[in-house]
Amino acid sequence: MGKYRDDAEKLLEYVGGKENIAAVTHCATRMRFVLNDQSKANEKAIEEIPSVKGMFTNAGQFQVIIGNDVSTFYNDFTDVSGIEGVSKEQSKAIAKNNQNIVQRAIATLAEIFTPLLPAIIVGGLMLGLRNFLEGVPLEALGGQTITQASTFWNGVNGFLWLPCEAIFHFLPVGITWSITRKMGTTQILGIVLGITLVSPQLLNAYSVSSTSAAEIAQNYTWDFGFFTIDKIGYQAQVIPAMLAGFLLVYLERFFRKWIPEAVSMIFVPLFSLLPTILAAHMVLGPIGWQIGSGISWVVNAGLTSPLNWLFGFIFGGLYAPLVITGLHHTTLAIDSQLVADFGTTNLWPMIMLSNIAQGTAVLAIWFLHRGNKKEEQVSVPATISAYMGVTEPAMFGINLKYVYPFVAAM
């Protein structure tokens, strides 16, 4: 008999039985259900199951927090239910039936940027270190920066620019690759498209503002006789890369549908890639640049204007509710655009403080309810998770349950 067989049988009954489960899988700590009718789930009864540490609904999935032993629980659940589990990707695909168009758009955006997060995070850490090394005069060094006082650290600072440039200047390559990966089209075409947006033969995006229109017309144009196209790069630009990536996906799907399979290897990539590159440099790139710059200008103005206290109060207060809806993923694109336009972003420090606040609220509940062994199984790991940047266990497992800790953290 399995370790969690009794609890698994109860969970099966309380989610509405086998016939109410469209798909089930698990992640590191949670059982993930796609339910045909979520109203049939008896949430109050589920909370009383000894193994269950909380539950919430996100992205069309009914998620039950089990903890680190979730894989064992999952095996017992599939045994008692007779339901064959699916992969997380299959579960997400099925869950889309429970999402409206806005939720689907947000989920798509999140799945595009999530694979890029490790690079963006490590790049941000290295940029922060470089800013300290080269930009902070220290009294102990006679008012010099570390790079001015040390040949070794000056070398380290210079070397670190190599990965930082690869991550941020060439971000469009990652974005177009991730879009083709997410949408199930040819990934190498996405990589090639991204490279055409940041090619060394183009005028670097960071040099455009300091280059005259006359010089651009003379040295950075493709002249086709009756029209010209500016050779402008889109280093670190987010929206131009996204627009180009989605056009590539649409064209590839369109031509793959109509071009005979015998010649599709030749003509589908050709008819998909070349028009997209042209459109990217003629239309999508300039339009996307203006949109991205407009958004980052508005956000930066909010962060730096005399009313920045009001902007910070609103954004900081509303960020946690944004996490519940999934809308917080949209800040990734804004962050990247802020770094591209202004060299920094003040949103991530605010987000970090919001995460810490949610974790600390859980810590306070743990202190007030100490001795509650069942709740401690949720609150302790949830606090650590929130301090590390993942607040869903804290919010759904504890704070929203009592409401006041959630509001207090906001």
The residue among 24, 130, 143 whose CA lies nearest residue 84 is: 24
Q: Which of 9, 13, 20, 27 is the catalytic position? A: 27
Buried b (16+ CB within 10 A) or exposed e, 200-217: eebbebeebeeeeeeebe
Where in 211-257 does DSSP place strands (E)?
A: 221-223, 228-230
Which is it for strands 21-26 and 30-35: parallel, antiparallel or unpaired?
antiparallel
Token pair listed for 331: 């800040």
Listed in sequence order, the residues at least 6 apart from 87 whose beta carbon sits closer than 8 Å to its beta carbon are 25
* 43 close to 63: Cβ distance less than 8 angstroms: no
DSSP string, 203-263: BPGGGSTTS-HHHHHHHSEEE-SS-EEE-B--TT-SHHHHHHHHHHHHHHHHHHHHS-HHH
27 annotated active-site: yes
The residue among 7, 2, 33, 4 whose CA lies nearest residue 20 is: 33
Position of tokens 């802020």?
Answer: 338
Cα separation, 51 vs 73, in Å, equals: 9
Cα separation, 349 vs 220, in Å, equals: 38
Enumerate the active-site residues. Answer: 27
